[in-house]
Amino acid sequence: MARRKQEANMIETFAEFKENKNIDRTTLISIIEESFRNVISKMFGSDENYDIIINPDKGDFEIWRNREVVPDAALNNTSTQISLTEAQKIDPDYEVGEQITDEVDFAGFGRRAVLNLRQALAAKILELQKDNIYTKYKDQIGQIVSGEVYQVWKKEVLLLDDDENELILPKSEQIPGDFFRKNDTRRAVVIKVDNQNNNPKIVVSRTSNLFMQRLFELEVPEIHDGLITIKRIARIPGERAKVAVESYDDRIDPVGACVGMKGARIHGIVRELCNENIDVINYTSNTALFIQRALSPAKISSIKIHEDEKRAEVFLRPEEVSMAIGKNGLNIKLAGMLTEFTIDVIRDIDTGEDDIYLDEFSDEIEMWVIDQLKSIGCTTAKSVLRMNREEIIEKADLEESTVDDVLRIIQAEFEEE
């Protein structure tokens, strides 16, 4: 009775393990049977004449041995044969050549055999569970998952999903405004799944463009249904983003659908992304128009496209330049990322014949300095002179001495004239 109880408890232990680790019933039964057969095979040389019956409902199992009845003198293998004398003790009607089936008490094999079996089962189930985790998340790369914050470290955050599987959120994949507290729930997109040494590692991201795309799919039914397509995304996580969308149905306004009534749809995405400012624009294959839309809210006077160089010269009225560049240069940087063009902002002013493009000073002023001046909308000599010294230093992020040299060189050119 004690041995049978020990066997039953062993099965119950692994039944509980199965419930906790989401290993399906059929697979667990198969693992248990395979483990029993391996032990029997090692002990008796073969498991072919053994039947193993697993009863998960009762948390029990049975092992039955099939042996052939042989004459007493012919007995040479007690695992596959039973003597006629022993067989007739079980039932007097047994005769030589018949098969006899009797139940085997596995606990009778000894404590070591039972312990080895439990250890083998635990190892096999753990291995299977890791394989299941890897397979599950390998198929979810690019999809959003949710996890509860379990541990916060300097370089990464550990999240646990509903099945207590570990998700790693590296510092580099966290939005700068993210704040994590234990037991908080966070969403992220799966970007990488490794399985080195059968130890699955799931890496998730909140800065990936895919994360923003999946959030739009969740919040905007028209995107989920394929009526609106997200063509391109440019992000500076936690700061600002631009999203280009296109509709395949002329009756649907893609920008309006993404923003929602009074911004209801996009506000949910903005909150998830730590108040990241999101501009949604209509996509077009017309490069000039696309660049114009990407630089919104600035209004472009004219544009010159250099397709071979993937570069665009954008002309704007002086009062529009600051809007085109944006705070800390974010607007023009994102526009460049979105359109995949280098955008040069040029102040659209009546320069007259007496003005000179900055490129002509390349023999006296280093090109990187000229590029910095162009980045704030100064492409001609007089456009630089129209700005005060402190404004150039601040906006172009140049040293005072460098700005003084630039101003001296430019002023000297006009004084000579």
* For residue 8, pLDDT beyond 60: no
Position 351 scores a pLDDT of: 47
Distance, C-alpha 44 to centroid of its chain:
50
Closest CA to 210 of 233, 240, 177: 233
What is the domain-level CATH number for residue 233?
Answer: 3.30.300.20
Burial label, 213 (beta-carbon count in 10 A; 0-12, 13-18, 19+): middle
pTM of the model: 0.65
Are 110 and 78 in a shared domain?
A: yes
Are 112 and 149 in a shared domain?
A: no
Are 233 and 182 in a shared domain?
A: no
Region 384-400: mean pLDDT is: 86
Are 241 and 274 in a shared domain?
A: yes
Token code pair at residue 57: 């409902």
Asked if residue 167 belongs to a domain, the reply is: yes
Are 92 and 157 in a shared domain?
A: no
Give the model confidence (pLDDT) of 229-247 as tens digits.
999 999 999 999 999 999 9
Asked if residue 78 belongs to a domain, the reply is: yes
AA letter at 165: N
What is the domain-level CATH number for residue 152?
Answer: 2.40.50.140
Position 10 scores a pLDDT of: 55
Are 131 and 147 in a shared domain?
A: no
Structurally, the chain folds into a number of domains equal to 3
Answer yes or no: are the C-beta atoms of 114 and 106 closer than 8 Å. yes
Check residues 113 and 64 and name the one with the higher pLDDT: 64
Above pLDDT 70, what percent of the chain?
Answer: 90
Are 8 and 131 in a shared domain?
A: yes
Pick the last residue of a domain from 87, 117, 135. 135
Are 7 and 129 in a shared domain?
A: yes
Asked if residue 10 belongs to a domain, the reply is: yes
Asked if residue 19 belongs to a domain, the reply is: yes
Position 16 scores a pLDDT of: 53
Domain that holds residue 148: 143-207
Check residues 228 and 348 and name the one with the higher pLDDT: 228
Asked if residue 368 belongs to a domain, the reply is: no
Q: What is the rounded distance in angstroms from the CA atom of residue 414 to the CA atom of residue 417?
A: 5
Are 58 and 107 in a shared domain?
A: yes
Are 19 and 71 in a shared domain?
A: yes
Region 48-69: mean pLDDT is: 80
Region 93-97: mean pLDDT is: 89
Distance, C-alpha 76 to centroid of its chain:
63
Are 79 and 177 in a shared domain?
A: no
Position 2 scores a pLDDT of: 47
Quick one: pLDDT band at residue 58, thresholds 50, 70, 90?
low
Asked if residue 333 belongs to a domain, the reply is: no
Region 252-270: mean pLDDT is: 93
Asked if residue 275 belongs to a domain, the reply is: yes
Ramachandran angles phi, psi of 148, nearest 5° = -95, 135
Region 36-48: mean pLDDT is: 80
Position 349 scores a pLDDT of: 62
Quick one: pLDDT band at residue 12, thresholds 50, 70, 90?
low
DSSP annotation of 375 reads H
Position 4 scores a pLDDT of: 53
Give the model confidence (pLDDT) of 325-357 as tens digits.
988 889 999 999 999 999 998 877 654 556 777
Asked if residue 289 belongs to a domain, the reply is: no
Give the model confidence (pLDDT) of 189-225 as tens digits.
999 999 888 789 999 999 999 999 999 999 999 999 9
Answer yes or no: are the C-beta atoms of 126 and 20 closer than 8 Å. no
Pick the last residue of a domain from 87, 113, 135. 135
Region 378-394: mean pLDDT is: 83
Give the model confidence (pLDDT) of 100-140 as tens digits.
888 887 776 777 777 777 777 777 778 888 888 898 899 99
Pick the last residue of a domain from 155, 173, 207. 207
Residue 7 CB contacts under 8 Å (≥ 6 apart), including other chains: 60, 61, 106, 107
Ramachandran angles phi, psi of 168, nearest 5° = -100, 125
Position 61 scores a pLDDT of: 79
Name the H helices within 278-388. Answer: 287-294, 318-325, 330-339, 367-375, 381-385
What is the domain-level CATH number for residue 37?
Answer: 3.30.1480
- What average pLDDT is seen over the chain? 85
Are 111 and 164 in a shared domain?
A: no
* For residue 164, pLDDT beyond 70: yes
